[in-house]
Amino acid sequence: MGSARATWLGRDVISILDFSRDMLEELFLVADEMDRFLRSGRVPRLLEGKLVALAFFEPSTRTRLSFDTAAKRLGAETIGFSGEEGTSIAKGENLADTVRMLDSYADAIVIRHKYEGSALYAAEVAEHPVINAGDGKQHHPTQAMLDLYTVRQLFGSVDGLVYGVLGDLRYGRAATSFILGLTLFRPKKLYLISPPLLRAREEVLEVLRQRGIVFEEAGSLEEVIGGLDVLYVTRIQRERFPDPSEYEKVKGSYRVTRRLLEEHAKPELRVMHPLPRVDEISFDVDETKYAAYFIQARNGVPVRMALLALVLGGWEK
Amino acid sequence: MSPGEALLVRKIRDGTVIDHIPAGRALVVLRILGITGREGLRVAVVMNVESRRLGRKDIVKIENRHLRPEEVNKIALVAPTATINIVRDYEVVEKKRVELPSIVEGILKCTNPTCITRKPREPVKPRFRVLSRRPLRLQCMYCGTIVSEDDVVKQLIGG
């Protein structure tokens, strides 16, 4: 484990596939510690004197606030923006120059951007670690980290479970990163459930094939729900569709309800969702034992605290 | 080149012979080189001739024209089996195989319109990892998009 810890220090976080299972397990152990600190109300100021830039070129609530909270809980300070309005980007500055500026101010840059590959590009420009908080439809690695951490917390292990990932698998970066993250473990089976227009992209399916993951593409949740341990639901995001008429064809095409779960799901099934949701999970699921999405949302802070502490070296002190 | 092929087109004095082009790709190679026939160069194209190595192959001979390294790199993408022969005074003075590197940089653009490499104001060169050579499959190292041989050919010939 010691070596896994050393490899976190100073590194960029671009894709969940940049990490090994050992590294993620190390992260989860540190997140357990962070969770204990938070519950006890005594969090050591491991990142005192550090400054984290939160460069959210796209609007975000949960991810930005959880990074902000995680940094501040550990004693770091944050700077940044949310949305391009009011920044030099709105005046025509390019991403590279904005990143260079932030790099000269801060010890790490957390970036969210609407274009795929922007986080990797920022990491090439910056000397300090860059953490991808979502680049277009491609990656959302820290979401996958907290999702996998939540599965481990709920079931004791990520291995050996039957997963269903439901929704927009084509444009949804949280779903994509979760699917890719599962390839670092040994799921029993993975069902990819989506309308035909929103099937997982070829490059994602290729990773599943290369890594020997048993998976099946399914058109409807009803066909497979009875066999699932984890159902990961995602929203269809209007803003990711290049063609608005495509969005109109698929919106509202699936909905997880209490009745569906009670009639067809195993009692142990847990429903996850990166949030925010619109209408893909009905509110009557919230009070059932199936709902795990609020636990998942809460885990955003300890997991991101662990990540910042490992990348910025606070955990070494 | 077999004696039968030699009968089809006579030797050139100075220039380049691109041999072992996969059958049917000679015209793509000409498009990549920007040769339309209006340049006044003497050009011979031989298509679908027998080849021990490839079964069938195309050959392009261009008099008084030598290739720039970036042209050779582009040919490597669509004709990875090609050999480039440099001819001076009827003799082949240099013969080399084209070589497709494992990373292709700066030649092609990503087919994904929302890839960061497609943004004109960002000083970033598109970079692709070669997933497979035949058929050609490339993966954008920034956005992960897989680019097929058809996409590559379309881009290189401006289709």
Q: Which of B123, B124, B142 sits opposite A116 (nearest CB)?
A: B142
Report chain B's mean pLDDT, rounded to a whole number: 91
The number of CA neighbours under 13 Å toward the Cβ of A285 is 27
> Percentage of chain B surpassing pLDDT 90?
82
Residues of A in contact with B139 (CB under 8 A): 203
Query: CA of A95 to nearest chain B CA: how many angstroms apart?
Result: 7
Q: Which of A92, A136, A201 sits opposite B114 (nearest CB)?
A: A136
CB B49 within 8 A of CB B8: yes
Q: Is the Cα dihedral A105, A106, A107, A111 positive or negative?
A: negative
Say if residue A237's pLDDT is above 90.
Answer: no
ipTM of the complex, rounded to two decimals: 0.91
Asked if B116's CB is within 8 angstroms of A94's CB, the reply is: no
Beta strands in chain A (DSSP E): 51-56, 77-82, 108-113, 130-135, 162-166, 189-193, 215-218, 230-233, 270-272
The DSSP string of A174-198 is HHHHHHHHHTTS--SEEEEE--GGG
Kind plus residue range of the DSSP H or E element containing A201: none
Residues of A in contact with B121 (CB under 8 A): 92, 94
Mean pLDDT for the stretch of residues B17-43: 94
Pairing of strands B55-63, B43-51: antiparallel
Q: Which of A115, A121, A203 sits opposite B145 (nearest CB)?
A: A203
Residue-level pLDDT at A1: 45
pLDDT tens-digit map of B74-132: 999 999 999 999 999 999 999 999 999 999 998 999 999 999 999 999 999 999 999 99
More confident residue, B2 or A213: A213
Task: Report how far residue A303's alpha carbon sits from residue A19's, in angstroms, rounded to the nearest whole number.
Answer: 15
Query: Chain A residues contacting B, CB < 8 Å?
Result: 92, 94-96, 113-118, 120-121, 124, 135-138, 201-203, 206, 242
Tokens (6 digits) for A243: 């063609």
Q: Which of B115, B121, B123 sits opposite A117 (nearest CB)?
A: B115
**Dihedral pair phi/psi, residue A250, rounded to 5°:** -115, -10
Predicted confidence band at A279 (pLDDT cuts at 50, 70, 90)?
Answer: confident
For residue A312, which of A120, A49, A41 has the smallest C-alpha distance?
A: A49
Predicted confidence band at B159 (pLDDT cuts at 50, 70, 90)?
Answer: low
Predicted confidence band at B2 (pLDDT cuts at 50, 70, 90)?
Answer: low
Report chain A's mean pLDDT, rounded to a whole number: 93
Kind plus residue range of the DSSP H or E element containing B137: strand B137-140
Asked if A242's CB is within 8 angstroms of B116's CB, the reply is: no
For residue A111, which of A131, A136, A89, A141 has the smallest C-alpha distance?
A: A131
Mean pLDDT for the stretch of residues B14-20: 96
Tokens (6 digits) for A196: 């035909």
Mean pLDDT for the stretch of residues A277-290: 94
Predicted confidence band at A293 (pLDDT cuts at 50, 70, 90)?
Answer: very high
pLDDT tens-digit map of A65-123: 999 999 999 999 999 998 777 676 777 789 999 999 999 999 999 999 999 999 999 99
Say if residue A313's pLDDT is above 70.
Answer: yes
The DSSP string of A152-167 is HHHHS-STT-EEEEES
The DSSP string of A90-120 is GGT--HHHHHHHHHHH-SEEEEEESSBTHHH
* Count of CB pairs separated by less than 8 Å, A with B: 59
Pairing of strands B127-132, B103-105: antiparallel
How buried is residue B55: exposed, middle or buried, by Cβ count under 10 Å (0-12/13-18/19+)? exposed
Query: CA of A201 to nearest chain B CA: how many angstroms apart?
Result: 9
Asked if A136's CB is within 8 angstroms of B143's CB, the reply is: yes
Say if residue A128's pLDDT is above 50.
Answer: yes
Beta bridge partners of A193: A166, A218
Chain A residue closest to B121 (CA)? A94
Task: Report how far residue A178's alpha carbon sits from residue A150's, in angstroms, rounded to the nearest whole number.
Answer: 12
A254: helix, strand or coil: coil
Predicted confidence band at B5 (pLDDT cuts at 50, 70, 90)?
Answer: low
Q: Is the Cα dihedral B128, B131, B134, B136 positive or negative?
A: negative
Q: Which of B116, B145, B146 sits opposite A115 (nearest CB)?
A: B116
Query: CA of B127 to nearest chain A CA: how many angstroms apart?
Result: 11
Query: Chain B residues contacting A, CB < 8 Å?
Result: 112-117, 119, 121-124, 139-146
Asked if B143's CB is within 8 angstroms of A116's CB, the reply is: yes
Tokens (6 digits) for B66: 């030598």
Residue-level pLDDT at A86: 64
Task: Report how far residue B83's alpha carbon sits from residue B77's, in angstroms, rounded to the nearest whole number.
Answer: 13
Asked if A94's CB is within 8 angstroms of B141's CB, the reply is: no
Say if residue A310's pLDDT is above 50.
Answer: yes
pLDDT tens-digit map of A2-54: 556 669 999 999 999 999 999 999 999 999 999 999 999 999 999 999 999 99
Mean pLDDT for the stretch of residues A133-162: 98
Mutate one of A58, A97, A116, A210 to test the B interface: name it (highest B CB count within 10 A). Answer: A116
Residues of B in contact with A202 (CB under 8 A): 146
For residue A234, which of A183, A163, A135 has the smallest C-alpha distance?
A: A163
Tokens (6 digits) for B7: 């009968």
Query: CA of A141 to nearest chain B CA: how many angstroms apart?
Result: 14
